[in-house]
Amino acid sequence: MDAPTSRPVERASNASAADGPGPPVSPAAIAESLALDRSKRNIARWARLMARRGVDFDAFFDELQERKRPTRWQMTWLLSHYVERNRRDGARAEHRIWQSLTDCNDPGMRRELWRALSFIDVDEDLAGDVFDRAISVIRSPAEPIAVRAHAMFAARNVARPHAPLRRELRLVLEAALAEDSPAIRARSRNVLEELRKADLSRDRRARP
């Protein structure tokens, strides 16, 4: 059970009634609600509410840091669910997502944070760090399969505009095709095909 917060919060039951406009969503109210109801339906309800009313991502991540598992994991699950459907707004959170990812040892949370990053066109000031960390994760058989898979997609997004990074990622993914995991092989093939198409598209544009 999460430690009680001293700040005033909206009642968790407000989520079901908050289908219209209103003030920005309270991250504390999100946490209180997820601590009581961890269902997919509740996650989807809060994601809709965040899309309608907005959320302060700095306050969201501050609240996340104060919570214990499983609520912390549920908040990252909500975040990736939200960013998948609201990518432009989710991009506002990329620096906090990256900061949380670099400080996180929880496999479930890392899976959701990498998943959230996979939907974002990462800023140039973060792109190198994100790519290098993603390559390290992809190469590590000690990492959970889902974490490695989402890291592949994040690396793909960073590499897509840059031929040298596409070549580096291609070599890493080709090596992954020799692994025992069918899931890793399948995702590697999918990303390799995307990289191949990106190369062909840029070759056509480069022709006189």
Q: Which tens digits make up the pLDDT trace of 116-164?
A: 999 999 999 999 999 999 999 999 989 999 999 999 999 999 999 899 9
Longest dimension (CA), the chain: 66
- Calpha distance 193→195 (Å, rounded): 5
pLDDT of residue 27: 97
Indicate if the pLDDT at residue 56 is higher than 50. yes
* Buried/exposed 178-192: b ≥16 CB within 10 Å, e otherwise: eeeeeebeebbeebb
Q: Which tens digits make up the pLDDT trace of 78-92?
A: 999 999 999 999 999
Q: Where are the domains of the chain?
A: 10-113, 121-208
pLDDT of residue 22: 80
Q: Which range scores top for mean pLDDT: 9-23, 102-116, 173-187?
A: 102-116
